[in-house]
Structure 1
Amino acid sequence: MHEVVLRIEQPSACADATLGTETTIELWCNDHCDLLHVSGPMGKEALAHLEELVGVQELLVEGNERLAMTETCLKDRETDTIEAYLARHSCLLVPPLRYAKGEKWCRILALDSSNLTGLYRDLVDDFPVVVESKREISTVPGDRPLLTPETAIADLSPRQQEALVIAHEMGYYRIPRETTTAEIADEMEIERRTLEEHLRRAENKLVDGIIEFY
């Protein structure tokens, strides 16, 4: 079995809602409705954009995180979906779909690598596509099917990723520490409290994602 992660600039309501922002959207389609995880400082505005199309019947909010169940399925409102391309090349989409910076992130499986090649060629005829990663899956542990760090760990917002990377590069996680949150905040040109909030949320997501599989 073969796996590829593609970034596709395919116009859609979710992609449009994240364009030019730090908002990310994860979507699980259930045919009759969708489950949306919206993260980022402009998540409220992004969700309001989607609510106009499909409605929201349930909503949980915690800080910049929003978990919503829609009233209808977004797929019914859009004509250019990834499913038609997948069916054409016998490929399987592994949910959730992820949207960030106006792009759709798709994790796709196929039994034969030639199917993925055909899918890619078909997509690039219509949209800009970037291959983010690819691998061959030769064994599948029974207790953790198709588990990768990307699927085990909750997605971080772009700002959380940036804060974590810069903190690591500046030696914040070394023993002893080689920098302070104030110095990292200066590097990112943000307030210290904002930086610390980004780090706390990123660390919580990473720990929760790892602990779940122990």
Structure 2
Amino acid sequence: MTLFEVVLKLTHDSPFVDLTRKFPSVKIFSWCNSQNDIVEIIVENPDDYPLVMKQIPKVEWVIEESSDRTRIHLIVHKCSCTAQNSVDVLIEDLNLLHVFPEVMEKGWEFQRIIAFRHDDLEELLRRMEEAGWVFEILRKVPFDGFIASSLMLTPDALFSDLTQKQVNAVLTAHRHGYYMRPRKADVQTIAAKKQVSRTTFQEHLKKAENKLVTALIPYMQLYNHTPAERRERLKMK
């Protein structure tokens, strides 16, 4: 049985696709765990940022939001897999493997799929055409076992060694702009706002950073030894 890796470019009406259509400087990445969508919105044009932020309340089911003036992170309670106007529904209904993240840019949605049977792929394309969606196959190649998911990080691999206080320290530092360049806040300022001592907050933060880097090293080593032609295949387009 020959497996195929397929990258699709399509457009249809959805809140996030429409957002990238309205603001060409916006690029959106979305991951789903069948319960929630994790959405990262990157705004390349600083002038668009306040305008994009005004659009966020229009997105339904947002249960958590954070931003740092260039990126907006959302957790959406109702994932796109349940939306009737979503290609996710069609993919889940067929014998196809959906590889995240989905990418949305300039009014287009990019999907990566592993097809186990050619008939299932043909059925997906037929249903998309029947739904009136505009789409294009950007890539269809035999699957050699090496795709973006080969380098995907699982939460267990990356975060399981962190304590809750260490997780909170990283999220708090990020929320206050500690990781921006130039930094928007230092450890002392953040600790004061959280009403904890600087040394305590810094200890949690540094321990978390050390653990995260240690967990990332195997993936960086894997990527570093990946041939250039295969690195190109990690890109959506």
Q: TM-score under structure 2 normalisation?
A: 0.54
Aligned CA distance change for structure 1 residues 76 and 31 (closer, same or farther; 3 Å): same
Residue-by-residue CA offset, 1:5-54 (whole Å, 9 max, x unaligned): 11111111111111042201111123443211001233554454243333
How many residue pairs match? The answer is 153
Which structure has the highest helix share of the two?
Answer: 2
Aligned CA distance change for structure 1 residues 55 and 138 (closer, same or farther; 3 Å): closer
- Tell me if the contact between 2:49 and 2:69 (Cα under 8 Å) persists in the aligned partners: no
Q: Given the alignment, which residue of 53, 63, 69 partners 2:59?
A: 53
3-state SS of the aligned residue for 2:55?
A: helix
3-state SS of the aligned residue for 2:133?
A: coil
3-state SS of the aligned residue for 1:80?
A: coil
Distance 1:47 1:211 in 2: 36
Distance 1:62 1:106 in 2: 27
Pairing 1:103–2:108 present:
yes
Distance 1:99 1:25 in 2: 5
Q: Given the alignment, which residue of 23, 37, 40 partners 2:40?
A: 37
1:129 counterpart residue number: 135
Q: Which amino acid aligns with 1:39?
A: I
- Tell me if the contact between 2:61 and 2:78 (Cα under 8 Å) persists in the aligned partners: no
- Cα-Cα RMSD: 3.2
Question: 5 Å matches for 1:63-74?
Answer: 63-70=69-76, 72-74=77-79
Q: TM-score under structure 1 normalisation?
A: 0.59
Pairing 1:6–2:11 present:
no
Distance 2:59 2:115 in 1: 32
Aligned CA distance change for structure 1 residues 210 and 132 (closer, same or farther; 3 Å): farther
Structure with max Cα Rg = 2
Aligned CA distance change for structure 1 residues 127 and 30 (closer, same or farther; 3 Å): same
Distance 1:86 1:115 in 2: 9
- Tell me if the contact between 1:25 and 1:36 (Cα under 8 Å) persists in the aligned partners: yes
Gap runs ≥5 in structure 1: 153-196, 198-208
